[in-house]
A and B are shown apart, each in its own frame.
Chain A
Amino acid sequence: QSVLTQPPSASGTPGESVTISCSGSYSNIGSNFVHWYRQFPGTAPELLIHKNNQRSSGVSDRFSASKSGTSASLTISGLRSEDEADYYCAPWDDSLRHVVFGGGTKLTVL
């Protein structure tokens, strides 16, 4: 059971925009940078966004993220079939004293 809450699933049709939320508390999202990772089945996670809204090198500008208070969100615009994957938010937690990962959101492109 993660201290971060993500919707277990999200979906959209090609070309649409989808937003994945990540809700936490002051000790994690409220006080620290949020990073976002994408993971395809059977592969290692890969960094999409670091420090709340900075795209990692080579990541499409279709991916954007923001943070407000104790919540963060990842938006994928111009949805493509290849965006189907699991997405995780991951800030540091000051109370737990370790990186915490959200439960993950499985994105389906209909």
Chain B
Amino acid sequence: EVQLVQSGAEVKKPGESLKISCQPYGYDFSNYWIGWVRQTPGKGPEWLGVIYPGDSDTRYNPSFQGQVTISADKSIRTALLQWRRLKASDTAIYYCARGISGHPLDAYDIWGQGTMVTVSS
């Protein structure tokens, strides 16, 4: 079964760092774009960026560039989303999702279950 499995919920303090992961199953990790989307309760999703694990080509939403880092480690078949200094406003559910084709702007057909990140002092 094709699926994406994300790491578990995190509770952090402002200023702390964090890395969350997204692990693919059932398909060739290197050959599909992986996007990251965040969602706060009661609001629509926001697109953070996308990465092609095959060559680590990465595109960011300009609003989030410099705020988060998207990466992929082919050796452990894992996509990562990380923060150096968290803010309370980073509190959200973060989803990874697989691009349906080889184009970075295409739709996402497989989604992870989401990782809840809570940042609070």
Contact = CB atoms under 8 A, between A and B. Distances in A.
Interface of A: 2, 32-33, 35, 37, 44-47, 50-51, 56-57, 88, 90, 92, 96-104
Interface of B: 35, 37, 44-47, 49, 60-63, 95, 97, 100, 105-109, 111-114
Which of A2, A33, A44 gathers most chain B CB within 10 Å?
Answer: A44
B47 A44 contact: no
Given A98-B63, A99-B47, A101-B46, A45 B95 contact: yes
A44 B107 contact: no
Contacts, number: 63
Given A32-B105, A44-B111, A92-B105, A50 B100 contact: yes
A103 B42 CA distance: 10
What 4 A-B pairs are tightest by C-beta distance, nearest first? A50-B107, A99-B47, A98-B61, A35-B107
Contacts of B106: 33, 35, 50-51
B26 to A, nearest CB: 14
A90 B61 CA distance: 14
A101 B47 contact: yes
B36 to A, nearest CB: 11
Nearest to B104: A92
Contacts of B97: 44-45
Contacts of A46: 111
B47 A57 contact: no
A97 B50 CA distance: 12
28 contacts: A2-B44, A32-B105, A33-B106, A35-B107, A44-B95, A44-B114, A45-B37, A45-B95, A47-B107, A50-B107, A51-B106, A51-B107, A56-B109, A57-B109, A88-B45, A90-B45, A90-B47, A90-B107, A97-B62, A98-B49, A98-B60, A98-B61, A98-B63, A99-B61, A100-B47, A101-B44, A101-B46, A103-B44
